[in-house]
Structure 1
Amino acid sequence: MSMEQDGTAHGAGRAVLAFVTGGSGGIGKSGNARMLAAALGGTGRHVVLVDGNAGQQSQRVWHRLGPERMLENAQWLDTLDRAILMPRRTGQAYALLPGPADPLAAGMNDLYGAAILRLCETPGIDLVLVDADRIDPAQWEDRRTFAGHVIRPFMEAGLARMLFRIGQTGSQLEDGMRALGAVDDADMTCAVAVAAAGLAHPRTDRDWARILAPVARYAGTDRWDVSTLALQTPGSRLTPPHTPWLCRQAAFLGLRLEPAAREQAKGWWPWRRTR
């Protein structure tokens, strides 16, 4: 059964929810989240990118946001739009929910969870894409962490899918496999391998499909090169190429990288605003 044929992880009328993560740092999780958000947003889909790594907040840095833009503005969930940065403000084809001003504040994971759920239930939103920190088995078991308190409950309820980044060798491979083993949900997890520019002998697609089969579906290999690095320039307008692995990630979420059919009269609240 193909990725397109097996449906999505969301119920009728609910936005698709996906968490982008990996087992180690430095493998392009945040860049992957931006590229997928931009690619799908560019087809006319309504995408909200969530800066879910409270400690690092790569999206805050990349989008050059001031301290007044923060998750704490979402505490009043009936006015969640006050926390969202609209596409005209981000300069991209997607909206953005920033991370917190105080990452260590009590209840921040609860606020993340409530805001994400509210976004998923907002009519007209097609995809809520959360850029999350790396995960490991200990975090997955610890309900005090973002992985254990936010990602795991959504996935175990069948409300979310995971887009996972994994390295070719060493700790980036070993830590990634341990994390995937802890999640242990191959049907709801899609993995992309990362091959740095200049790597002489990256693993073949057949090798990756075999290695990942028990714990994840395989979407392909992201082969970094000069053009990939150019997409990481802070604040640049993103028009990522529809590479095979990016298309397979979209298909895994039940979305295709092609223009969306949408009635013009049906907007959704963030896109009606100008800020």
Structure 2
Amino acid sequence: MTGTDADYEATRRDGVLRVRRPTTEWLSTGWNGGRRTADCAYNISVPAAWNRTDLGAYVDERLERARFETAAGEFAGPALLTGVDVADARGARRGPVTAYATAGISNPAALPMEPDAAETAEATAIETGESATGQGRGTVNVVVGTTRALEPGALANLIAVAAEAKAATLLAEIGFPGTTTDAIVAGHDPSGSPAAFSGSGTEVGAATRACVRDAVRASLAAHYAAVDADPPESVADATYGVSTDGRAEVFRPPADDGWSEPHS
């Protein structure tokens, strides 16, 4: 899927999805994440039996093999890793926002609202097993970019908006809010038209919600059509997965009874 100069254009090559827009500032929740300015962000498919731990070297190897070098000969952009084939990636565009997603649910992360104590032992066993490595044909990765120039807080909030849209979509489609290894990269154009906020009621936020929803849904459909299977209906049916069945202690923050209003 490619776009115009105003878009975040994507190219797939040798198991790597490159999303490119010059001098974008990215914020990543993935490996080696945080903020950085780079021309590209990447989503990289890993094999089913993948167990590399030298992630920096591995990412460089994959990008070099796919011939995705930057002008400086360095791979400076953020990179996400996924068990889903990037052939199943799908993009969506609305207004000033473009999003790309890969979605597979072999490692669902369930969050029951009424945890059953009887299930805790089983869930704990799953949490401490192989699913903790993130192996398997799973992960929901999203790369979203806007042509607007966002304030620092608005870029951070765009991660939250995209994560909320991803979770709402997955809950509606398969009953889970995500997997154990999901990640998001959000980007903006520091030289674009300024936008102070990115909440759901803003142009950027609303467009992000629509793009993430539609890209995730399309990638899910493509992925499960390709593997000729259905998503798991429960953690027990999944190859890997966790269910957060423990309860937290809920408390009310204490009031400072000795505090008084300052006199004007």
Normalising by structure 2, we get a TM-score of 0.26
Larger Rg: 2
More helix by share: 1
Normalising by structure 1, we get a TM-score of 0.25
More strand by share: 2
